């Protein structure tokens, strides 16, 4: 049911904007503790072998050095059971300094703790290690012929894909690859650990305060309530801050052993080797069609990387059975253990990589059929979820295609390769479909209506820069009529009611219903107070009172504000708690967001320059709670997609599996000069089957489909079909 909203669905400036601009926002790195020490990890310089000896004498004698932890003196800890369900997942199951085995270059062999950061760093550089190097280190799946172990759990089949492919008149069989990528979030991983009596307080730049609290409790043998994890502001995460990393465990242990707070901030090199990455992938796509262009089969066989310190599965084929109407589908996945720091989720994990291969293959199939690539997709727009056999809760992909194609000018595209020119440049126009699942998690929240007329809303989730503070404030404002500047939102503390990870683009759809429930519970409480003896509405039936602009009204139109009601009763506040979880809607519908990207690239053959000149995109994400922050998310994703398409690649030395470009100057990301015109449209079709606000969430979807749209545009401009990302200039010569 459509409802009029005053705050939700409208552009509200970020409530934390002023804090960020004025430096008041307390990021982890900004925290100082009394008598604090600094940790600096020592990275292994080999990728595969054993640590034979560590020479610490010189480093220990250096100024300010307090202690050096390594496998010889590190305390015994417990491995976390590591489960998503119990919310104690860690990124690396191996504990720091667990034994002398080295599984990847950069793995910590010691942690130096000193009085200053500079002293810790200098001493870390003075630690000398001797190794026994084993042969056969694999830095990248793409350097290996092998695909690794088959993952039976990822196998999905419907219909008879093999048979359909065998008999089809038009076939495509191609292999695509994507280099491993780094998250390159601005704020590095950082931990400040402080023990007060037997309580542990950890400031951590994390996408999951509750997850880290539980993981710390397991590893250090503490009750959960004796661990507090704080993360008020985060300089983004993109998935590499979802779960706890070894630097945090080592830092907490050091603080306990030394009886002083310890802060460790990873330098960029270590952030890139020990702080997660998107795994490289190799994907074989087979598509078959009849001569009229009906898709008869999809085979999507992929291999992705995991590490020797964790089993990470990037769900790379997960969207292929759902994106298009097709009766015969077969999906498989292999997993190869490589000698680099463990991969982990990275923005749009799995689907971003999978959609690259699928959407390039669709473009190639369209060309083989002599059909417009947009038309091929339109014809296969799935009206229900073919993988689940359930209707989509709400799907407007056709409207995305229509609108983005019109704004882009797709009808003017001449399909002949290299035929569209302007000055020295050849224009390439390509498009791709975009998609990301919509999920919800259980969530609790608390709301306090205060006598001073302000409202506080609290949830044990965090704002990773996406606007969670703001959308929660908007929700409270919408439901109470209280102005946004009188609403305080508290996030980023594990002691608050348990909220979700900031991940999977699920935080908005997860937190808002819980906050709403808490608001209503607080208002019910207020009505009880107001109708009690001596209350503003003494004797009235609470049910007859209505709410308007921060006040209660009775049927006669008498009005009393929250503040008056509470003040009359000499109450400081009333509280409400809300607890929500996804429900039966998942049995009725399949929930997914969709979109389309249209990209113009320009290739200047005279100077061998390729650039993205224009991106026009439309998204069907349900309702955007805040179109300003939602658009910002998607634009950021598009910028990331340009990096994925043209620039980003973690390069591992094929001889010894060491990461070569472990810094911001050699790992190339999109910068301002690379920025095209970006025209993003968010359709407004609230998905009330998903939650009362109609929001499916937004963020990661923007990244899916960008890289294939670029690759398809590059083909249109140059005639070169580049099937491995990134499309660097050398591949076009
Ligand atoms: Mo996102 S990869 O779920 O942080």
CA distances from residue 339 to 308, 486, 569, 651 in whole angstroms, order as listed: 7, 52, 66, 13
- Per-residue pLDDT at 1: 47
Q: Which atom of ligand 1 is nearest to the CA of 240?
A: 4
Our answer on whether the CB atom of 578 is closer than 6 Å to any ligand 1 atom is no
**Residues 127/54, Cβ–Cβ less than 8 Å:** yes
> Where residue 534 falls among pLDDT bands split at 50, 70, 90?
confident
Instruction: Check if 276 has its Cβ closer than 6 Å to any atom of ligand 1.
Output: no
Burial (CB < 10 A; 0-12, 13-18, 19+), residue 691, is buried
**Ligand 1: distance of its center to the CA of 239 in Å?**
4
pLDDT tens digits along 116-160: 999 999 999 999 999 999 999 999 999 999 999 999 999 999 999
Whether the CB-CB separation of 68 and 113 falls below 8 Å is answered with yes
Tokens of 444: 């609790």
Residue 537 CB neighbour total at 10 angstroms: 21
Annotated catalytic residue within 92, 204, 364, 700: 700
Indicate whether residue 504 lines ligand 1 (CB < 6 A).
yes
Measure 640 CA to ligand 1 centroid, in angstroms: 13
Residue 2 has pLDDT above 80, yes or no: no
Cα–Cα distances in angstroms (integers) from residue 182 to residues 107, 239, 573, in the given order: 16, 11, 47
**Has residue 4 got a pLDDT over 90?**
no
The Cα–Cα gap between 504 and 238 comes to 10
Pocket test for ligand 1, best of 504, 509, 637 (most atoms within 8 A of CB): 504
Taking 50 as the threshold, does the pLDDT of residue 201 lie above it?
A: yes
Cβ atoms 620, 397 nearer than 8 A = yes
d(CA 241, CA 559): 48
> Tens digit of pLDDT for each residue in 35-57?
999 999 999 999 999 999 999 99
Kindly give the distance from the C-alpha atom of residue 654 to the centroid of ligand 1, in angstroms, as a whole number. Answer: 29
Find the largest Cα–Cα distance for the chain. Answer: 85
Task: Report which ligand 1 atom has the smallest distance to the Cα of 348.
Answer: 2
Give Cβ neighbours of residue 671 (< 8 Å, ≥ 6 apart).
Answer: none
Please say if the pLDDT value at position 3 is more than 80: no
Q: What is the 3-state secondary structure (H, E, C) of 432-463?
A: EEEEEECCCCCEEEEEEEECCCCEEEECECCC
Specify the ligand 1 atom closest to the Cα of 506. 3
Over the stretch 449-482, which tens digit does the pLDDT of each residue have?
Answer: 999 999 999 999 999 999 999 999 999 999 999 9
Name the one residue in this structure whose structure tokens are 């994390």: 206
Is any atom of ligand 1 closer than 6 Å to the C-beta of 380?
no
Please state the rounded mean pLDDT for residues 325-333: 98
List, for residues 150-172, the tens digit of each pLDDT value: 999 999 999 999 999 999 999 99
- Closest CA relative to residue 232, chosen from 192, 196, 198: 192
* Binding site membership of 641 for ligand 1 (Cβ less than 6 Å): no
Contact 49, 131 (CB under 8 A): yes
Residue of the CA atom closest to atom 4 of ligand 1: 239
Q: Which of 242, 462, 633 to mutate for ligand 1's pocket (most ligand atoms within 8 Å of CB)?
A: 242
Is the beta carbon of 246 within 6 A of some atom in ligand 1?
no
Is 700 a known active-site residue?
Answer: yes
Does 716 have pLDDT greater than 60? yes
Helix 351-368 crosses helix 706-718 at what angle (to 10 degrees)? 30
501 Cα–ligand 1 center, Å = 9
Model ipTM?
0.97
Q: Is 242 in the pocket of ligand 1 (CB under 6 A)?
A: yes
Helices (H), 23-62: 57-60
At what angle are helices 468-480 and 507-531 packed, to 10 degrees?
30
Domains of the chain as residue ranges with CATH? 17-22+440-581 (3.30.365.10), 31-135+186-235+241-274 (3.90.1170.50), 281-439+587-732 (3.30.365.10)
Check pocket membership of 636 for ligand 1, CB cut-off 6 A: no
3-state class (DSSP) for residue 478:
helix
Mutational test site, ligand 1, from 181, 182, 236, 238, max ligand atoms within 8 Å of CB: 238
The C-alpha angle 676, 679, 683, rounded to 5 degrees, equals: 155
């Amino acid at each position: 049911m459509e409802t009029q909203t005053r705050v939700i669905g409208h552009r509200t400036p970020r409530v934390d904007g002023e804090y960020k601009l004025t430096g008041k926002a307390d990021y982890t790195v900004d925290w100082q503790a009394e008598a604090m020490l600094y940790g600096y990890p020592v990275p292994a310089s080999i990728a595969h072998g054993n640590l034979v000896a560590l020479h610490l004498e010189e480093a220990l004698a250096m100024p300010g050095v307090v202690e050096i932890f390594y496998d010889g003196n590190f305390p015994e800890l417990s491995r976390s059971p590591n489960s998503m369900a119990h919310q104690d997942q860690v990124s690396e199951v191996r504990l720091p300094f667990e034994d002398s085995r080295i599984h990847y270059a950069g793995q910590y062999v010691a942690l130096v703790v000193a009085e200053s950061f500079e002293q810790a760093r200098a001493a870390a550089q003075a630690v000398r290690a001797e190794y026994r190097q084993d042969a056969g280190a694999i830095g990248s799946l793409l350097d290996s012929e092998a695909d690794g172990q088959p993952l039976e759990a990822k196998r999905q089949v419907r219909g008879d894909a093999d048979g359909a492919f065998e008999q089809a008149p038009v076939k495509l069989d191609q292999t695509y690859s994507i280099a491993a990528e780094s998250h390159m979030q601005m704020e590095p991983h950082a931990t400040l650990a402080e023990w007060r009596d037997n309580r542990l307080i950890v400031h951590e730049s994390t996408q999951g305060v509750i997850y880290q609290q539980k993981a710390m409790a397991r590893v250090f043998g503490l009750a959960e309530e004796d661990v507090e994890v704080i993360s008020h502001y985060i300089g983004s995460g993109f998935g590499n801050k979802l779960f706890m990393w070894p630097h945090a465990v080592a830092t907490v242990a050091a603080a306990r052993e030394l009886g002083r707070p310890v802060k460790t901030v990873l330098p960029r090199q270590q952030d890139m080797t020990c702080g997660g990455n998107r795994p490289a992938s190799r994907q074989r796509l087979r598509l078959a069609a009849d001569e009229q262009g009906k898709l008869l089969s999809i085979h999507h066989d992929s291999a992705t990387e995991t590490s020797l310190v964790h089993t990470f599965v990037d769900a790379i084929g997960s969207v292929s059975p759902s994106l298009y109407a097709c009766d015969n589908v077969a999906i498989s996945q292999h997993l190869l253990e490589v000698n680099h720091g463990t991969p982990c989720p990275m923005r749009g994990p799995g689907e971003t990589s999978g959609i690259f291969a699928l959407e390039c293959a669709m473009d190639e199939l369209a060309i083989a059929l002599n059909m417009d690539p947009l038309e091929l997709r339109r014809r296969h727009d799935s009206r229900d979820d073919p993988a689940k056999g359930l209707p989509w809760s709400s799907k407007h992909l056709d409207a995305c295609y229509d609108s983005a194609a019109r704004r882009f000018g797709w009808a003017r595209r001449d399909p002949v390769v290299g035929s569209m020119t302007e000055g020295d440049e050849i224009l390439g126009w390509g498009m791709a479909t975009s998609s990301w699942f919509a999920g919800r998690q259980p969530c609790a929240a608390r709301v306090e209506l205060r006598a001073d007329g302000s409202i506080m809303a609290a949830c044990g989730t965090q704002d990773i820069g996406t606007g969670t503070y703001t959308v929660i404030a908007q929700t409270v404002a919408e439901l109470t009529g209280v102005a946004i500047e009188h609403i305080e939102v508290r996030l980023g503390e594990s002691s608050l009611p348990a909220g979700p990870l900031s991940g999977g683009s699920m935080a908005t759809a997860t937190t808002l219903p819980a906050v709403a429930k808490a608001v209503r519970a607080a208002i019910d409480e207020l009505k009880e107070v107001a109708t009690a003896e001596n209350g503003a509405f003494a004797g009235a039936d609470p049910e007859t009172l209505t709410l308007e602009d921060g006040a209660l009204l009775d049927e006669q139109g008498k009005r009393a504000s929250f503040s008056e009601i509470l003040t009359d009763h000499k109450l400081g506040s009333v509280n409400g708690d809300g607890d929500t979880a996804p429900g039966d809607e998942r049995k009725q519908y399949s929930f997914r967001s969709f979109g389309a990207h249209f990209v113009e690239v320009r290739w200047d053959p005279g100077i061998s320059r390729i650039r993205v000149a224009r991106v026009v995109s439309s998204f069907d994400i349900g309702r955007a709670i805040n179109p300003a922050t939602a658009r910002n998310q998607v634009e950021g994703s598009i910028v990331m997609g340009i990096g994925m398409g043209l620039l980003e690649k973690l390069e591992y030395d094929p001889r010894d599996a060491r990461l070569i470009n472990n810094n911001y100057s050699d790992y190339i990301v999109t910068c301002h000069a690379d920025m095209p015109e970006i025209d993003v449209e968010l359709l407004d079709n609230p998905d009330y089957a998903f939650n009362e606000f109609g929001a499916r969430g937004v963020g990661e979807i923007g990244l899916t489909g960008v890289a294939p749209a670029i690759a398809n545009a590059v083909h249109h401009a140059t005639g070169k079909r580049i099937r491995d990302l990134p499309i660097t200039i050398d591949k076009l010569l």
